[in-house]
Structure 1
Amino acid sequence: MEVMLVDFQLCRRSSPALDLNYLLFSSLTANERSRCLTRLLDDYYSTFRAVLIAAGSVPSFTQEQFTQEFHNKSMFGLIFGALAVPALMCDARDAQEFSVASDDHTVDYVMKKRESALRMLSSNPLMQPRLLSLYEDVTRHAPDSSRAPRDLECSQGKPATAATYSLPESHASA
């Protein structure tokens, strides 16, 4: 039996590179990303392509374009990794309590979250290196700011399916 999990938490029309950045930056250490990134990108693209072909379509971008897109979107991975890692690695006493946040207690709530974050950085020996490695990875893989960004954007006027992802016309020949 084959099992597949589908996460609709961040359901949106966007580049598949965003989802992969979210997964890799929130779930893997810098060493794991560095050691396995090429294989993970290759496996993701080949699986994505196979699913589209099985559905009667093909992706409108190459594996090389997808890899470049992943690197161009690495800031997204950094931001969501920086948000997710503390929540994933926190002690039970530092876990988010959404019920205590209300308009009447917003300042107190923010101050408690700040204290909690500082406590986690000083008490959890895994937290600081994990967060610092996120920033190092993004710096290493960030796109050159002098180039125009390449975005795999969903084509306008078409249903939101994986087959509608393509490079914008302005970058199609780049």
Structure 2
Amino acid sequence: MSNEAWLKEHHSQIEERDVKAALKSDKGDGAQLVSWTIVDFTQKGDNYATVVTSVEVTYTLKGKEGNVTYVVKICPLRGMGSMKALQVVFFQKETLIYKQIAPLLNETLAKHGLEPLSIPKFYYNSDERGRELIFLEDLRPRGFKMVDRKVGMDAKHSVLVIESLARFHGASLLLTENLSFEDLLEKYPVLKLDWHNFNEEAAEILGEMFEPCMQTTAELLQSVGEYCRAEKWLLESKGVIQEKLGRLLDTKDPYRVLCHGDCWNNNVLFRYDEEGNPVEVMLVDLQVSRVSSFATDLNYFLMTSLTGEVRQENEHLFLKAYTEKLASLMSSAGKKNNKKKTPFTFDEILGEYRRKHEYGLIFAVMIVFIIVAPREEIPDFHDMQEEDIPKVVEEMKEKSIKMIKTNPLFKSRFLATFDYMSDKGIF
């Protein structure tokens, strides 16, 4: 199926009743729908787990005409067996976060006189089978946009993301004063489901995706030379990736928080001042949120979305920013009852960050190619079936081999991760 036909098929899932419901939620009962149009705005490489489009709406309210645009996320109609079912679970999880858990977190923050989370507004969802939709705030009119993923984030952008993660994590810690993580998982069991534990078939497919990538990465390192220990780690890890991910994600107190789960370049948007400085960030795409160590979010972000130089030179700055923002939020919340709420010291955060480095490495192996590759080189995941995996992986392997010889940006980003991990004693 062509990309155009595939998009048209998904666009057909959006119906006028959905648009009316989102408009009512946003503007109130008095808003009357005049017209609506679906307008795509994303490019290849921007989205992987869901279909993202927008709906431009004209409406009347109190005798005046107005216009508004909503970002609409659509659960893919096709997929690979259990992975298709897992896609639906992830969609349900994102709906749960926006519709129920985020309001709980924001109510908790408001109770302590603190600002709400930096996430888009939720307006409406359809959970009808085969027609799962989420209508969200369009952040573009407020000036939010994505950073060029090929360039990598600088320190200013990265600190904003890290501080926003600290607030997200801290809000969940405040919530546990009245609702423990055990209670949260019991109340919302979909939060327990993840890549590695959904079912045996999904775990096998996960292995089929990760193992060849790790094999290819080992071969790339062999072609470069001087990375024998990293090659050995990759080859030893590729057959036990599900177990390794499960161990890294299975975190108990005191380091458990509600994690974003997929915080990388494509899932953060920035607003800028007149001089072009980033001044605000929004976290988007919450479909793999989970209860785990805060350090999984930090490693995932820092190992995938920055160049090695920026990460290496600013690591202390980044972890200090996280420590101080989390401590500030918890301390401010504790002022009403004269309790000091600083959950972790800098050294504790650094130690946990180091213990989860393998998690960041695993996803860097998967993502760096996608980040740096030209759009035309990125595989089409939107209609991929299980039987397509070997072919797609082989294509990525051939392109990676070519890129490490011809693309200095890819080579430096790729090798910097292994240089860093070697320096920290991971291999």
TM norm structure 1: 0.71
**Alignment-derived partner of residue 293 in structure 2:** 15
Match of 1:94 among 361, 370, 377: 377
Structure 2 CA distance for partners of 1:107 and 1:29, relative to 1, 3 Å: closer
Query: Once the 2 structures are TM-superposed, how far is the Cα of residue 104 of structure 1 from its aligned partner?
Result: 4.3
Match of 2:313 among 32, 35, 39: 35
Match of 1:66 among 322, 333, 349: 349
Task: Say whether the 8 Å CA contact 2:308–2:412 is kept in structure 1.
Answer: no
CA RMSD of superposed structures (Å): 2.5
**Alignment-derived partner of residue 399 in structure 2:** 116
Deviations 1:98-138 (A, max 9, x none): 13522444433332222222222223121122211101111
SS in structure 2 opposite 1:61? coil
Task: Say whether the 8 Å CA contact 1:71–1:142 is kept in structure 2.
Answer: no
User: Which one is further off, 86-95 or 24-33?
Assistant: 24-33
Query: Once the 2 structures are TM-superposed, how far is the Cα of residue 95 of structure 1 from its aligned partner?
Result: 1.1
User: Which one is further off, 91-100 or 51-60?
Assistant: 51-60
Structure 2 CA distance for partners of 1:11 and 1:137, relative to 1, 3 Å: same
Counterpart-to-counterpart distance in 2, 1:107 and 1:53: 51
SS in structure 2 opposite 1:13? strand
Query: Once the 2 structures are TM-superposed, how far is the Cα of residue 27 of structure 1 from its aligned partner?
Result: 1.7
Counterpart-to-counterpart distance in 2, 1:26 and 1:106: 22
Structure 2 CA distance for partners of 1:142 and 1:117, relative to 1, 3 Å: same
Counterpart-to-counterpart distance in 1, 2:358 and 2:393: 25
SS in structure 2 opposite 1:64? helix
Counterpart-to-counterpart distance in 2, 1:78 and 1:62: 24
Counterpart-to-counterpart distance in 2, 1:23 and 1:119: 26
Task: Say whether the 8 Å CA contact 1:78–1:134 is kept in structure 2.
Answer: yes
Deviations 1:68-116 (A, max 9, x none): 1111211212222222211111012211311352244443333222222
**1:25 partnered with 2:299:** no
Task: Say whether the 8 Å CA contact 2:296–2:356 is kept in structure 1.
Answer: yes
Structure scoring higher RCO (CA < 8 A, sep ≥ 6) equals 1
Of structures 1 and 2, the larger Rg is shown by 2
**Alignment-derived partner of residue 82 in structure 1:** 365
Task: Say whether the 8 Å CA contact 2:323–2:344 is kept in structure 1.
Answer: no
Deviations 1:38-76 (A, max 9, x none): 111101111122222334472433221111111121121
User: Deviation above 6 Å: which 4+ runs of structure 1?
Assistant: none
Q: Between Structure 1 and Structure 2, which shows a larger proportion of strand residues?
A: 2
Aligned length: 144
Matching residue's letter, 2:353: F
Task: Say whether the 8 Å CA contact 2:299–2:353 is kept in structure 1.
Answer: yes
Q: How high is the sequence identity, in percent, across the aligned residues?
A: 25
TM norm structure 2: 0.31
SS in structure 1 opposite 2:289? coil
**Alignment-derived partner of residue 126 in structure 1:** 409
Structure 2 CA distance for partners of 1:27 and 1:103, relative to 1, 3 Å: closer
SS in structure 1 opposite 2:322? helix
SS in structure 2 opposite 1:97? coil
